[in-house]
A and B are shown apart, each in its own frame.
Chain A
Amino acid sequence: MTSPLNERDQMFAAEFALGTLENELLDEAQKRYDQELVFRHEVDQWSERLAPMLDEVAEMQPSPKVWRGIERALNQNMHEKSGWIANLFSSKFALVSGALAVLLLVVGINYLPSFTSQSGPILTATLSGEQVQSAMIANYDSKSGKLLITTNMRVVERGDYELWIIADGQAAPISMGIIAPSGTAELALPTEITDLLTQGATLAVSEEPIGGSPTGLPTGPVIAVGTLTQG
């Protein structure tokens, strides 16, 4: 598989996966892993290659106190952290743009684009902009017609993010609804939209007034753009 990274970065990813990096190089790699999707994918591919070596490591049973400690820590954390799930359910979500009935389903069991089960061709897009890298990742399963999105953007103070599709070769963006600044969600879309989700179509996120664009076209700054490609 060809990587979009240059050779130096490919090696950097490999060394991070192997575990030989130290100090500031390690910090840099960890930061890039968390923030740059392309780099993360390169590291993940290396982890996948190397992980079978772990099969030779003997498994060992940890003592029950480890799980008790984890549970304790989670219980302490749970009410401190609202987490992204709270964003998903935030009041803004009730205001999904009416132009198109976009039904937002909270992600359920088996929502992931499975690496193992049968699915149609998967189209993916990574949406980036000047301010943000990997603001959103979209995975579209053309067989099931489901679009899975994961967003990673800062919260807008007095506004919402709206997702748009620009069909291949077309000029006018069409609204796909309002999306949460961060989190993962599955969008069940009408066929008028899914018909447009083809290789080469552009997805874009713009900042709009609360409730979405009043005109049906983007009115605020475009935060991130990406193209659907197969792979």
Chain B
Amino acid sequence: MGDQAHNASGSVAAAAELEDLIARTALRDKSAFAELYHRTSSKLFGVCFRILNDRSEAEDVLQEIYIKIWNKADQFATGRASVIAWMATIARNQAIDRYRARGKPTDDLDDHHDIKDEMPDPEQAVVQLHQKREIEICLDSLKQSHAIAVRQTYLSGWSYQEAADKLDVPLNTVKTWIRRSLMQLRECLEK
């Protein structure tokens, strides 16, 4: 079901359709929820797997995530995020929760570091180019070590302590890096 990728994010029309699906989900419309799952689950599963690096655990967490989405769907209307960002926040929090509960790190930085082979397929890339460019350009404008810290905390669920351990710098240093980077990113993205 490769078409999920294109619907799950990207075009304005697809985003509007997701808003519609989440609105109907808030009204307890199960078929809308099933469609929402169909369109977004491979994206969220990828996000969970990236953090947990364990298929069956990630599937377990994915189930919890969609039950949360079902229960919190009416909260979406009062927020300011897009559907996919809102759902991804729930997914990341749930996966990070599980990851920290087991207290076992995923594999080394190197395994996650090379992002080239994880690029979206070309068609998807075109749709996402604009947004992608912005965040990538802004990340590139940071010092490399700072960009790695931001990227890995976000994508792999590192805590400050983990980032300090993995990057071999004091905890306070990594905190300063990330906080400063966040401010720089905000400024860069709002240009």
With a cutoff of 8 Å between Cβ atoms, the chain B residues found around residue A54 in the complex are: 43, 47, 88, 155
Query: Whole-angstrom distance between the alpha carbons of A20 and B155 in the complex?
Result: 11
The answer on a CB contact under 8 Å between A17 and B89 is: yes
Instruction: State how many angstroms separate the Cβ of A22 from the closest Cβ of chain B.
Output: 5
Which of the listed residues B15, B89, B154, B189 has the most CB atoms from chain A within 10 Å of its own CB?
Answer: B89
Instruction: State how many angstroms separate the Cβ of B76 from the closest Cβ of chain A.
Output: 8
Known: A44-B80, A50-B154. A20 touches B59 (CB 8 A): no
Known: A52-B135, A56-B118, A57-B50. A47 touches B81 (CB 8 A): yes
Interface size bracket, B side: 35 or more
Q: Which of A45, A48, A70, A116 contacts B63 (CB 8 A)?
A: A70
Known: A19-B93, A109-B24. A62 touches B42 (CB 8 A): yes
Q: Which of A67, A114, A134 contacts B19 (CB 8 A)?
A: A114
Is B166's CB within 8 Å of the partner chain A?
Answer: no
Is A58's CB within 8 Å of the partner chain B?
Answer: yes
The answer on a CB contact under 8 Å between B78 and A63 is: no
Instruction: State how many angstroms separate the Cβ of B161 from the closest Cβ of chain A.
Output: 8
With a cutoff of 8 Å between Cβ atoms, the chain B residues found around residue A112 in the complex are: 19-20, 22-23, 77
Query: Whole-angstrom distance between the alpha carbons of A155 and B80 in the complex?
Result: 27
The answer on a CB contact under 8 Å between B19 and A37 is: no
The answer on a CB contact under 8 Å between A59 and B43 is: yes
Q: Which of A30, A47, A61, A107 contacts B88 (CB 8 A)?
A: A47
Is B92's CB within 8 Å of the partner chain A?
Answer: yes
With a cutoff of 8 Å between Cβ atoms, the chain B residues found around residue A117 in the complex are: 16
A-B CB pair tally, cutoff 8 Å: 186
Q: Which of B50, B77, B85 contacts A47 (CB 8 A)?
A: B85
Query: Whole-angstrom distance between the alpha carbons of A148 and B83 in the complex?
Result: 18
Is A93's CB within 8 Å of the partner chain B?
Answer: no
With a cutoff of 8 Å between Cβ atoms, the chain B residues found around residue A105 in the complex are: none
CB-nearest residue of chain A relative to B175? A20
Known: A19-B157, A73-B63. A37 touches B30 (CB 8 A): no
With a cutoff of 8 Å between Cβ atoms, the chain A residues found around residue B49 in the complex are: 60
The answer on a CB contact under 8 Å between A83 and B28 is: yes
CB-nearest residue of chain B relative to A152? B78
Known: A47-B86, A107-B27. A61 touches B67 (CB 8 A): no
Query: Whole-angstrom distance between the alpha carbons of A137 and B41 in the complex?
Result: 30
Q: Which of B4, B19, B74 contacts A115 (CB 8 A)?
A: B19
The answer on a CB contact under 8 Å between B77 and A57 is: no
Q: Which of B79, B119, B182, B185 contacts A11 (CB 8 A)?
A: B182
With a cutoff of 8 Å between Cβ atoms, the chain A residues found around residue B22 in the complex are: 112
Q: Which of B34, B82, B119, B154 contacts A18 (CB 8 A)?
A: B154
With a cutoff of 8 Å between Cβ atoms, the chain A residues found around residue B33 in the complex are: 74
In chain A, positions 138-193 with a C-beta closer than 8 Å to chain B are: 148, 150, 183-184
Is A94's CB within 8 Å of the partner chain B?
Answer: no
The answer on a CB contact under 8 Å between A41 and B16 is: no
Query: Whole-angstrom distance between the alpha carbons of A56 and B5 in the complex?
Result: 12
Known: A55-B120, A112-B77. A19 touches B96 (CB 8 A): yes
Known: A109-B23, A112-B77. A59 touches B4 (CB 8 A): yes
Query: What 4 pairs between A and B have smallest CB-CB spacing?
Result: A44-B81, A44-B80, A51-B85, A59-B42
